[in-house]
Amino acid sequence: MTDRNADSALDRAAAEALALLAEDRRSRADRRASAGEELSGGLGTPAGGNAGAHDAGYDFLFADDTRDRPRCEAASGEAPPGGPGAGGSEAEPFSADGLSGKPHVPASGREVASQDAGYDFLFVDETPVPPEAQASSADMSAEPPHVPALERKAAPQLPAYDFLLADFADGAPTSSQPASACRETPEEPGPGPGPAPAPPGYDFLFAGSSAADVSPERAAPRQEAGPPGGTPAADPAPQPPRHAATPWPGACGAASGAGERLPAVVRSLDGALGHVLAAPLAALTDLPSFDTSAMDGWAVAGPGPWRLPRDGGGVLAGDEHTETSPVRDGHAVRIATGARVPPGVTGVVRSEHGEVTEQGELYATRHVTHGQDIRPRGQECRRGDLLVPEGTPVTPALLGLAAAAGYDELSVTRRPRVDVLVLGDELLREGLPHGGRIRDALGPMLGPWLSALGTEVIAVRRLGDDADALYAALTASDADVVITTGGTAAGPVDHVHPTLRRLGAELLVDGVAVRPGHPMLLARLAPGRHLVGLPGNPLAAVSGLLTLAEPLLRTLAGRPAPAPYRAVLTEAVQGHPADTRLVPVVHRHSERAQPLRFHGPAMLRGVAAADALAVIPPGGAPQGAAVDLLELPWAGSA
Ligand SMILES: Nc1nc2c(c(=O)[nH]1)N[C@H]1C(S)=C(S)[C@@H](COP(=O)(O)OP(=O)(O)OC[C@H]3O[C@@H](n4cnc5c(N)ncnc54)[C@H](O)[C@@H]3O)O[C@H]1N2
Ligand code: MOO
């Protein structure tokens, strides 16, 4: 009953890469949120997003137009933006007075340090995000014959997925919809024209709904399972009444507040990817740690022409003796990119910009400025400088920076350890569905998804519908978080609630006012150990993952809340009268979100094409409304 899914290293690596891409995406979104008025509307992510907190730690990196660039340029002896110098010092020579200036060793680390505010050569590129792709209308005639053409008003930004884009004229599917979508329609609302008042019987539109699902009374006590058909009930005792479902924003907040950041651990650079820094990363050395040639050529001292050593000797990267071999005015030595610049050198002449006579004299064919093509010590940072703050996710780039700055290992927050228990006798591990049984869609999905969220997945195990096996697995697990799938409702073999009672677990969230996924739950098994119960319907499980698991895991991992990300709906999305809806959308590199079809609770077709779930408030959202987006881990890779 406890088959293990081997988590291949490849799967994990791919998932980690997805997480990193998402971080990058969030970072870009953050910048757009700061820049665009539509995105700065102050509706933070219900999960507790805090735009300011994220930026604050990076203040020293962000552009500040009030800074005195000319002063900085003067102080550094470097080029103006775009020219040679700190920010782009390997560009063409820029100044006409290089030879007339008094001979002077290029800016040393100390001189550079005196710029203090002169770090604006680091500041981020504020290039506006390119306008969204306004793709031309797709050639609908090119669609496969079995996929009926949609009306042209479906947003054309994603031609390859046109057949997935929501296209509801009145909240009902068009007649051209695939049959599978039509079958789902009575159970779920399609993106519709807006927040229409719920007509009688409206609740039939909603996923898994019964009258109790959508009416205010839906939170009334539900009938608990009697003795389950498949295996004996874990706890046949009378069931306590269910309390009201938690509103969706509150559920996210309860999850993020349920745990505490895990302790710091030390990891080698090799093992730190996917963690979060538990301490600020301060430079352990100046970078560069010595005045460095930026080009292959000649290191020259004073005005030319310059005499070269008769032995033809030069300086290579890694040579140690250069500090003791000064170059006198009027002399030059060959030098390689990355080599330490000897004392007395005032500039580097690139090999393509110099000519050597038969007499061994070097002439520059271009003007040579003071400090030309020399990266001064401390140009990037001084020892002790804050490079990135605590809480920063460890990305490949950060690993490179840490290594450059002298680190062999990093202090990171321990990643949450997660067990996944997939429940359901009907689930097949392979092959085609048959005999009333279906493929397990959640086991293959959750392992990599959880890895992408920065967790260490211990195992994904399939337990069937066996109350005792569930009890035993929960008792034996030493994971920080156990995630179950299925069995959250009150059916005859839904064992999650009875087993939690048997364990004496504390239910922190028992049902959430969100569609799909309302039976999701969060429980404390013991201090520091939690269980997230995801509903079995696959999109409902995704909803639970983003609503309860992700915020909890983020807190445990010490990850900052993602910056609020909002987008404007390309069309109205019908709402639930009382509950939040999470609807798959595409918004690739755009501030416009296109709702997708195939968003029924049992469907993954929409979310597989999506890069976010749009948060649709109770009552719905009209076309043009700005809604919060929950970005999916792969959002940045699309
Ligand atoms: N009387 C009521 N019945 C149901 C209600 C309700 O309020 N009252 N809620 C419905 C809703 S909404 C959902 S969501 C589900 C949640 O049910 P469970 O969490 O107990 O999940 P199961 O019953 O085990 O499975 C539901 C559905 O999903 C399929 N499933 C389960 N696991 C997987 C998997 N790993 N891969 C693919 N599909 C899976 C399963 O076969 C069922 O079809 O309850 C409703 N019922
Ligand atoms: O609506 Mo359930 O919550 O189908 O997923």
- The first and second tokens of residue 229, run together, are 């058909």
- Ligand 1 geometric centre to CA of 540 (Å): 8
Cα of 589 to ligand 2 centre, how many Å? 30
> Which residues lie with the beta carbon below 6 Å from any ligand 2 atom?
207-208, 515-519, 535, 537, 540, 601
The dihedral sign for the CA sequence 141, 142, 147, 153: negative
Whether 519 is in the pocket of ligand 1, judged by its Cβ within 6 Å, is yes
pLDDT digits (tens, 9 = 90+) for 326-360: 999 999 999 999 999 999 999 999 999 999 999 99
The reported pLDDT for the residue numbered 591 is 87
Q: How far is the CA of 441 from the centre of ligand 2 (A)?
A: 16
Cα 2 to ligand 2 centroid, rounded to whole Å: 27
Confidence class for position 401, pLDDT limits 50, 70, 90: very high
Nearest ligand to the CA atom of 485 = 1
Nearest atom of ligand 1 to the alpha carbon of 208: 12
Closest-CA residue to 454 (of 397, 416, 497, 400): 416
Quick one: which atom of ligand 1 is closest to the CA of 489? 20
Residue owning the nearest CA to atom 39 of ligand 1: 536
Tokens of 163: 């057949």
For residue 258 the two structure tokens come to 């349920």
User: What's the pLDDT score for residue 124?
Assistant: 30
Distance from residue 536's CA to the centre of ligand 1 (Å): 4
Q: To the nearest whole number, what is the mean pLDDT of the chain?
A: 72
Which pLDDT belongs to residue 214?
Answer: 29
Give the closest residue (by CA) to ligand 1 atom 16. 535
Ligand 1 centroid, distance to 550 Cα (angstroms) = 21
Which atom of ligand 2 is found nearest the CA of 518?
3
- pLDDT value of position 354: 97
Which residue has better confidence, 286 or 14?
A: 286
- The Cα–Cα gap between 419 and 262 comes to 17
Q: Is the pLDDT of residue 5 over 60?
A: no
Ligand 2 atom with least separation from CA of 188: 1
Q: What is the mean pLDDT of residues 85-106?
A: 33
pLDDT at residue 271, as a whole number? 96
Closest to 633 (Cα-Cα) out of 439, 477, 454: 454
Nearest ligand for residue 433 CA: 1
Q: Please name the residue whose Cα sits nearest to atom 3 of ligand 2.
A: 517
Task: List the residue whose alpha carbon is closest to atom 31 of ligand 1.
Answer: 536
Average pLDDT over residues 536-554: 98
pLDDT band at 131 (very low <50, low <70, confident <90, very high): very low
Pick the atom of ligand 1 nearest to 601's CA. 14
Q: Could you tell me if the CB of 485 is within 6 A of ligand 1?
A: yes
Say if residue 540's pLDDT is above 80.
yes
| 478-520 residue pLDDT tens | 999 999 999 999 899 999 999 999 999 999 999 999 999 999 9
Please tell me the distance from the alpha carbon of residue 611 to that of residue 630, in angstroms, as a whole number: 9
Say if residues 335 and 313 touch (Cβ distance below 8 Å): no
Percentage, residues of the chain above pLDDT 90: 56
Lowest mean pLDDT among 107-111, 302-306, 577-581: 107-111
The pLDDT assigned to 324 comes to 63
Mean pLDDT of 202-206: 25
Task: Find out whether 15 and 448 touch, Cβ atoms under 8 Å.
Answer: yes
Closest ligand by atom to 535 CA: 1
Identify which has the larger pLDDT, 147 or 282. 282
- Which of 25-29, 297-301, 558-562 shows the highest mean pLDDT? 297-301
Ligand 2: distance of its center to the CA of 185 in Å? 14
Q: Could you say which ligand is closest to the alpha carbon of residue 533?
A: 1
In order of 96, 141, 142, 177, 180, the CA distances from 146 in angstroms are 70, 12, 11, 10, 12
Q: Give yes or no for residue 538 having a pLDDT over 70.
A: yes
Q: What's the token pair of residue 181?
A: 């979508």
pLDDT band at 78 (very low <50, low <70, confident <90, very high): very low
Q: Give the pLDDT band (50/70/90) at residue 562.
A: confident
Above pLDDT 70, what percent of the chain?
A: 61
Given this model, what pLDDT does residue 80 score? Answer: 30
| 319: confidence class by pLDDT, cuts 50, 70, 90 | confident
Residue 486 Cβ < 6 Å to ligand 1: yes
Ligand 1 site, residue 508, Cβ cutoff 6 A: no
Which pLDDT value is given to residue 563?
85
Q: What values do phi and psi take at 184, rounded to 5?
A: -80, -20
Q: Is the CB of 45 under 6 A from ligand 1?
A: no
Task: Characterize the bridge pairing of strands 438-439 and 427-428.
Answer: parallel
62 — pLDDT class (breaks 50, 70, 90)? low
What is the SS3 string spanning 458-521? EEEEEEECCHHHHHHHHHHCCCCEEEEECCCCCCCCCCHHHHHHHHCCEEEEECEEEECCCCCE
Confidence check: pLDDT of 560 > 80: yes
| Segment among 167-176, 210-219, 399-408, 595-604 with least mean pLDDT | 210-219
Average pLDDT over residues 152-166: 49
Ligand 2 centroid from CA 535, angstroms: 7
- 483 close to ligand 1 (CB < 6 Angstrom): no
pLDDT tens, residue by residue, 36-56: 333 222 222 333 333 333 344
Can you tell me which residue has the tokens 């330490």? 340
Give dist(CA 434, CA 403) in Å, integer: 54
Strands in 490-608 per DSSP E: 506-510, 512-515, 521-526, 529-534, 566-569, 580-586, 592-595
pTM here is 0.70
In tens, the pLDDT along 357-370 reads 999 999 999 999 99
Query: Residue 342 in contact with residue 250, Cβ under 8 Å?
Result: no
Nearest C-alpha to atom 9 of ligand 1 is from which residue?
208
Distance 320 CA to ligand 1 centre (A): 69
Closest protein CA for atom 12 of ligand 1: 208
pLDDT at 386: 98
Residue 322: what pLDDT? 58
ipTM surpasses cut 0.95 = yes
Cα dihedral 99, 101, 102, 103 sign? negative
At residue 311, the pLDDT reads: 79
Which has the higher per-residue pLDDT, 184 or 546? 546
pLDDT band at 96 (very low <50, low <70, confident <90, very high): very low
Distance 542 CA to ligand 1 centre (A): 13
- Ligand 2, atom 1, residue with closest C-alpha: 516
Give 183's pLDDT tier (boundaries 50, 70, 90).
very low
pLDDT digits (tens, 9 = 90+) for 423-468: 999 999 999 999 999 999 999 999 999 999 999 999 999 999 999 9
Phi, psi of 317 (to 5 degrees): -60, 135
